[in-house]
Structure 1
Amino acid sequence: MADRHLEIEQKYDAEAGFVLPALDDLPGVSAVAEPRVHELHATYFDTPDLRLAAHGITLRRRRGGDDSGWHLKVPVGPDGKQEHRAPLGRPRVVPARLAGLVAVHTRGAEPAPVATLQTRRTVVVLRDADGTALAEVADDLVTAYRDAGDEPRRWREIEVELGTGGTDLLKAAGKRLRKAGARRAKSSSKLGRLLGEAVPAAPGATARAATRARLRELTANGKLPTVTAGDAVLGYLAAQLESLIEFDPRARQGEDDAVHRMRVATRRLRSTLQAYRPVLDPARTEPPQAELRRLAAVLGEVRDLEVLRMRFADGPPFLQDDLARRERGAYRRMNLALKETWYFELLDALDGLIADPPLGERADRKARKELPVLVSRVWERMATQYRTIEVVDDPDFARHETRKAAKRARYAAELATPVLGAAAKRVAKDAKRIQEVLGEHQDAVIAMEHLEAVRGRARTPQDAFALGVLYGREECRAGTARDRLAVTWSRTLGPSF
């Protein structure tokens, strides 16, 4: 059983007397297999306040059919769901991997049974001329219970799930079913149909969506003069929190670039709370900053090792093996940290900033007047830090601090771009160029430090020579970055609002 599967399907309600129409002449279909009948028994799990259902997520343990086991389904687009699977295991113990994938929503609350569904399923498979399964059509007779003593609810529904077929087949099958008397289902899941109005709105997601929508509406409809500094800051914070939540489960699975994207969202959140302090009340924005820094450090350990592994892909085997082992350990520590109470409390606190904004004294000022002042202030801090590189005892440290200041300037300008347009966009690009040059230098410095640390573990003269070659390459990269920095800085103009 594959542990992950992209499910694309459509559901239709059908009356008791509905007769499945002929499907063998649909696009690409050459044959319809003989019907198979399955008896399915599924227990659905959620938190007591139905947090998963509020996000359109279903988590169940199902017996019967060809795919007995645990199924976690997460919405992906209008007709798609990313399905994660695990073996049956214990009846009331959610597999740790699946629990981790929804932890960003459950936030420490333990999922428990919330409904039981018994389904008599009749399945026909639509095949092409080569016998490949293009789609499955399931005719389900459902009996559902919220609690053991409740009266059961019964209904019939038809599911069309794509295999190798395309959306044209999905569309044609739906048209045929509707012509035969079926109706497009109002709910995308059986659990959603059973729970109905008991499913609450997801407060955090609702507030984030509303905040972002307000800023989009104001900036897209010629209402820029009415946009306040508070509107701009909250819209950006909502977008970054949404990104953090999106990449949380992907980072836990070790998907490519997911830890990096989650870390960037974390840094943007923290940078915004720092750079736009006059817009938000520090009494509520300062506590989350410490936890955002903690989260960035947890993610940073993994990301730094990812960068080293990719940087030394041509290094000696012992070096690659050591980095792979350390990276696995960093992932384990990250996944443990993302289960801890402080992380869930941080998510709640950030949601609270959006749902109940702690607006400061400058929040109601016009964004077109206030944002240039704040962006320029962050840029000047970066410029001041840059000027220290040539006068301090540790120029590498000063370069690293300048890089961090460049990130803050970039993020501050990105926030202002929907309101200030090209002028802010140019500042963001200038800051990004400086950040990237200094990033290359910092990566080279970290790489050299790592090579110094492991050189004593070289097993052969060949390994020692290879480490020396890598060190020389990184030294050249660092020097090139230092040379590029002066040129890059000379080409930046700074804010001109």
Structure 2
Amino acid sequence: MTHSKRETERKYEAPSADDTSWLAALFGVEGIASVVERGTDELDAVYYDTDDLRLVGASATLRRRTGGPDAGWHLKLPVSGDSREEVRAPLSEVIPDSLRDLAVSRVREAELRPVVRIRSTRSTRHLVDSAGMVLAELSLDEVHAESLRGGTARASWTETEIELAEDVDSSLLDRVDKVLRGSGIERAGHPSKLARALKETGAGVPPLPHTGRENVVPGSAADEVLRYVDQQVRTLVDIDPAVRRDLPDAVHQMRVTCRRLRSTLRSYRPVLDREVTDPVREELKWLGGELGAARDQEVLVERLGSRIGALPRELILGRVDPRLREWNAARTVEARRRTLDALHSSRYLELLNSLTALTEKPPLARKADHSPEKVVVKAILKEYKRLAGRVAHALELSPGPERDAALHQARKASKKTRYATEPARGVLGKPAKRLGKRVKGVQKVLGDHQDSVVARSALRDLALDAHAGHEPSFTWGLLYGQEQAEGDRCERELPAAWARTSKPRLRKALAA
């Protein structure tokens, strides 16, 4: 059983555990009325990582800690800025499977071993406002670290942490920071106790990112494309724990990231060798497909629920809400199972390894060292040409299933075109951003149309199930008609949306 909390904190160098005169400066911070002592704890933590320190290299830590009010296993994951998420599990002798799973995207198949032991004498104080509410917790730590990777190296230092209480505005940290710096208290030069302990005990330091990129020319097309690929791979790795915990929107974010990577590796084949990237694209397609069932069901149920909620009560005949819940529950369980099976598979680990290899030792193609401007313009216009062909073909067809399928293909082409503009924004600036925004408008119309097609199919099934159960199917038919009207509206809007995207000046701006 795990639970988590968001912690927002900053670390500072402290003169010594005996010198606390600088604490008086905190009374000069707006909002802080008093500093309340809360006692001292003896903390003993063993930190775990891989032999090549993959966790700390990804700004994450895993520890087993005894002593203090929160003894147990703690996995800390980066969020943004001064914030991290700490996932906790009860104290046990071995690493809990729940936390091991949440670390998989960062460590992959590597074994987690003890690397450093850190013992701290922690004195705690609460920073309190005039109403007695705790704004933040200040911890003054006397730290003693020793390597567990052989040898007898040890290190000691004193540091302080200031962690915001829940729901307190982060601007308090800025006010505290200004006052402490004015008192000569400087920010710590390390992101975590573990990072400092590894360095000062000689237990090792994580390798610098992209040490195998000596063949990438700075400022080249490959440099620009790889910058974007790096970002997407990091997003995939970072969102993995949230997907495993079934947090809101996590599956959607991972699926979109898979699409972005697939599209980029396709659009920029002249930069990255397709003999290496095409197999990776296929595996990303597989992962996106396994995630798709969960995401599609989520979107569909939200859509149908909203439609039902908007109907007058006199038009809701039969077990409409209960039937929708039952229908959704069965499909959600199956979709969730598919997602977790995929993330626990060796195939997924192999994909993560392939993506890591792709970013660390990129397989460069013939145009990798070319000037990025021409390369990205050509890639974007190539995707745009495919999109134009898909849209033209769809608009030539009569309404019906064949046109629905063609519009769906156009939707996928619009995504690929938009994704092709994203790595180019640093090179082309506003023209790439503007084209991406207008293509997104086309994508939205096509997406709304496809959602109506999928909803109609589901509503037909629900109507048949209701009929088989001797229930009224009127409401399901009514909703079907609404979705048909929505699809017709999207088809009428598409020509105008496409005209805004296909104006000649966009092509000229990109080609300039």
Give TM-score, length-normalised by structure 2: 0.83
Are positions 1:326 and 2:331 aligned together? yes
Shift of 1:443: 0.8
Deviation at 1:317?
Answer: 3.0
- Contact residue 448 and residue 471 of structure 1 kept, 8 A: yes
Is 1:353 the counterpart of 2:358 in the alignment? yes
**1:111 alignment partner in structure 2:** 112
Determine whether 1:405 maps to 2:405. no
Unaligned runs of 5+ residues in structure 1 are 216-227
Q: Percent identity?
A: 38
Query: Pick from 26, 35, 39: which aligns with 1:36?
Result: 39
SS in structure 2 of the partner of residue 33 of structure 1: strand
Alpha-carbon distance between aligned partners in 1 of 2:205 and 2:175, rounded to the nearest angstrom: 34
Give the whole-Å Cα distance in 1 for the aligned partners of 2:186 and 2:374.
53
Corresponding residue for 1:145?
Answer: 146
Aligned to 1:221: none
Distance 1:420-1:75 versus aligned 2 partners, 3 A rule: closer
1:195-218: CA deviation from partner (whole Å, max 9, x where unpaired): 11544345557789x98x955xxx
Counterpart AA for 1:138: S
Q: Deviations over 1:424-482 (max 9, x none)?
A: 44443343222221111111111111122233333877763322222121111111112
- Show the 5 A alignment for 1:339-378: 339-378=344-383
Asked if 1:81 corresponds to 2:96, the answer is no
Query: Cα deviation per residue 1:170-198 (whole Å; 9 max; x = unaligned)?
Result: 45655776787765432232222211154
Alignment partner for residue 503 of structure 2, among 470, 486, 493? 493
Instruction: Give the RMSD, CA atoms, in angstroms.
Output: 3.2
> Which among 254, 273, 284 is matched to residue 276 of structure 2?
284
Displacement of 1:167: 5.4
> How many Å separate the matches in 2 of 1:80 and 1:49?
25
| Matched residue, 2:422 | 414
Q: Which moved more, 1:143-152 or 1:232-241?
A: 143-152
Map residues 86-485 of structure 1 onto 2, 5 A cutoff: 86-88=89-91, 90-96=92-98, 98-147=99-148, 150=152, 152-163=154-165, 170=173, 184-196=187-199, 198-202=203-207, 204=209, 228-314=220-306, 315=308, 316-389=321-394, 390-391=396-397, 394-458=402-466, 464-485=473-494
Distance in 1 (alpha carbons) for counterparts of 2:472 and 2:13: 64
Kindly indicate whether the alpha-carbon contact (under 8 Å) linking 1:204 and 1:351 is maintained by their aligned counterparts in 2: no
State how far apart, in whole Å, the 1-side matches of 2:133 and 2:456 are: 53
For the pair 1:67 / 2:77, whether they are aligned, the reply is no
Match in the other structure for 2:60 = 57
How many corresponding residue pairs? 481
For the 8 Å contact 2:73–2:90, the answer to whether it is kept is: yes
Secondary structure in 2 aligned to 1:134?
strand
Q: Which amino acid letter does the alignment assign opposite residue 473 of structure 2? A: A
**Quick check: 2:147–2:203 contact (8 Å CA) kept in 1?**
no
The Cα of 1:348 is off from its aligned counterpart by: 2.5
Alpha-carbon distance in structure 2 between the residues aligned to 1:361 and 1:75: 37
**Counterparts of 1:204 and 1:22, CA distance in 2:** 39
Please tell me the residue identity of whatever aligns with 1:156: T
**More moved, 57-66 vs 482-491:** 482-491
Q: Distance in 1 between matches of 2:266 and 2:422?
A: 15
Query: Displacement, 1:297?
Result: 0.7
Which position in structure 2 is the counterpart of 1:222? none
Q: How many angstroms does 1:343 deviate by?
A: 2.0
Distance 1:276 1:75, change over 3 A: closer
Are residues 169 and 272 of structure 1, via their aligned partners in 2, closer, same or farther at CA, if it must alter by over 3 Å?
closer
SS in 2 for 1:44: strand
Query: 1:44 touches 1:61 (CA, 8 Å); kept in 2?
Result: yes
Letter in 1 for 2:493: R
* Paired residues of 2:259 and 2:284 also in contact (CA < 8 A): yes
Per the alignment, in what secondary structure is the counterpart of residue 241 of structure 1? helix
1:151 Cα deviation after fit: 5.7
Q: State the one-letter code of the partner of 1:75.
A: P
Match of 1:224 in 2: none
- Superposed displacement of residue 369, structure 1: 3.0
Question: Residue 298 of structure 2: SS of its match in structure 1?
Answer: helix
Code of the aligned partner of 1:143 = H
Which letter maps to 1:246? D
SS of match in other structure, 1:471: helix
Q: Give unpaired runs (5+ residues) of structure 2.
A: 309-320
